[in-house]
Amino acid sequence: MKEMSAIKTIAIMVAADEQYADQMLLTLKSIREHCTLETAIDLFVLSSDLSHATKSAVNRLMTLPHHVSFIAINPRRIKNFPGNNHFDQTAYYRILAPQILLARHIERVLYLDLDTLIRTDLTPLYDSDLEGNIIGAVIDPGKALTLKRLGVPKSQANNIYFNAGVLIIDTILWETHHISQKILAMLVPYPGRRVNDIQDALNVVLAGRTKLLAPKWNVQNAILFKTYEPINNEYSQLFKQAIMAPKIIHFTTEKKPWEVFLEHPYMSEYQVYLSQLPADKRDQINIVSAANSNFVEPLAILYASILNNNDDDRHYAFFVLSDQLTARDQATLRQITESFNAELTFIEVDEIPLTAVIQDGQVLKTAYYRLLIPNLLPEIERVLYLDCDTLCLENLARLWDVELGNIPVAAVEDAGFHNRLAQMAIDYKSIRYFNAGVLLMNLTIWRQQKITEQILTFIKEYPQKLRFHDQDALNAILHDRWIHLHPKWNVQTSILMDFIVAPTERINRQFLSAQKEPGLIHFCGSEKPWDKSSTHPYTPQYRFYKSRFLENNNPVPFRANTTFDEYHS
């Protein structure tokens, strides 16, 4: 039997802001599609303002065994440095990154500009022998012999000017020689200085410390179009080899393929990737629920209702925190998600952290699983948690796009107005208390602030205070730290069926609005749509989805975004 090769990890970094999100996604896709099974990519994205939608798209492109880290760079450090039509301020991020990466034990990294198209596995490039030099780079044909112009000493003036769009960086040597500080100093303008941009500064500081790589690893437009005569016979041959078999295409100069560069020989190849961007960019909405076998039917119906109201701009990934679900249970849920090309993942939950929780006939340990979500999904930044007894009537994109900032959670006020914070002796600013059946969770903040640990500690120390179980514990820790969602996103049974005296006229108006235009119905309380005697006003919609998707022998979408009313009209 052939022995399996060990996985090799290579570190790659790119720099982008939201303006260049498309170009970044395209470059990353070309990297991933040419990566061999023996290589895992440790990707570092340097940025100061990427949206969660773009981050989600990057994470979907670079799934396991690859890994993504987003590194925030403070733009104030380079705000006064010059830019031009070729690059924006993010081009300077590569200067600041080596110190950050070395602190993470990354001793070598491959930097790539975002106007590159990768056509091969990058492992051989990453493994290039730098022969003791700080970086590896490829000649820039248009400036090859211009180091004298930049004031480089005669002893180093015969070194060749390199292009900075593809760089292998030895972060240890970079830091040892204080390269970042020297380059930043070089970019500060003063009379007589000949350095015009970041590439000039890199060449000045790194003259005599650069290993020149084969041009096939950075095939610039000047090489492809033979704009300049090669500096010698050796480079004449190297350029011919690069043109015949380019490894990395670099769309240098102001003409860019996303602006239709028709005469470029690799324009059509780039356009294929460009045509795939809409699908790659679809924002992923992460839905998490917890279920045992008794709740598989309502969960499947919830999935069908969500996906039937979705649009093509969003991709859904469902995560089930499984309480001993059987193979048949899982198959029932899969038949729904697969008919809509959605993702479905089952996660077995270790209940050891929940040994102190209180259960009764209505609330089982499964209900507490939501508290563990930040640790169960360590690579995900945000999720929408939904109880199984909810039903979707509207596209969830508006809810998903609520900006959380540094707030841990967004939720809807509980319609019972229980005054629970005072009854639990919580020192609060606002009396408002949320319902835990619909939670838009900022998992990054949960982890940073160790919110799960705080909640579990409260449960252990104050079990006598928990009339409403984990919902009480959530409110006890997160009071005054949650965003108030419109009640349309958690239309509780009491809002629809009971006469509620709201504490303020404003809330009363919101409840009336939620009754007219509900987004998520929450069948909380004893009135359940799967009971034969149910009189809930949305029981017919629940049974409609059950009939169409669970009792049909071929449960496929009947028509995109078909509503209950349209179907019965």
Q: Please state the rounded mean pLDDT for residues 198-218.
A: 95
Q: Please state the rounded mean pLDDT for residues 365-374.
A: 91
Q: Check pLDDT > 90 for residue 90.
A: no
Q: Check pLDDT > 60 for residue 105.
A: yes
In this prediction, residue 555 carries a pLDDT of 46
In this prediction, residue 226 carries a pLDDT of 95
pTM value?
A: 0.64
In this prediction, residue 132 carries a pLDDT of 97
For residue 87, give the DSSP letter.
Answer: B
Q: Please state the rounded mean pLDDT for residues 383-405.
A: 94
- Kindly report the average pLDDT of the chain as a whole number: 88
DSSP per position, 169-194: EEHHHHHHTTHHHHHHHHHS--TT--
Q: Identical fold at 8-278 and 284-567?
A: yes
In this prediction, residue 443 carries a pLDDT of 95
Of 565 and 141, the structure prediction assigns the larger pLDDT to: 141
Establish how many alpha carbons lie within 13 A of residue 141's alpha carbon, considering only the half-sphere containing its beta carbon: 25
Q: Please state the rounded mean pLDDT for residues 481-506.
A: 86
In this prediction, residue 267 carries a pLDDT of 93
Task: Please say whether the beta carbons of 242 and 215 come within 8 A.
Answer: yes
Long-range contacts at 452-460 (CB < 8 A, ≥ 24 apart): 452/371, 452/372, 452/374, 452/375, 455/371, 456/353, 456/354, 456/356, 456/371, 459/356, 459/357, 459/358, 460/356
Of 383 and 501, the structure prediction assigns the larger pLDDT to: 383
In this prediction, residue 244 carries a pLDDT of 97
Q: What is the CATH number of domain 8-278?
A: 3.90.550.10
In this prediction, residue 13 carries a pLDDT of 97
User: Given pLDDT bands bounded at 50, 70 and 90, which one contains residue 569?
Assistant: very low
In this prediction, residue 466 carries a pLDDT of 80
Residue 240 to residue 216: CA distance in whole angstroms: 9
Domain ranges of the chain: 8-278, 284-567
- Residue 361 backbone phi and psi in degrees, to 5: -65, -25
The superfamily in CATH containing domain 284-567 is Spore Coat Polysaccharide Biosynthesis Protein SpsA; Chain A (3.90.550.10)
In this prediction, residue 499 carries a pLDDT of 66
Q: What percent of the chain has pLDDT over 90?
A: 60
In this prediction, residue 416 carries a pLDDT of 81
| Beta pairing class for 210-212 and 135-139 | parallel
Q: Check pLDDT > 50 for residue 558.
A: no
In this prediction, residue 565 carries a pLDDT of 52
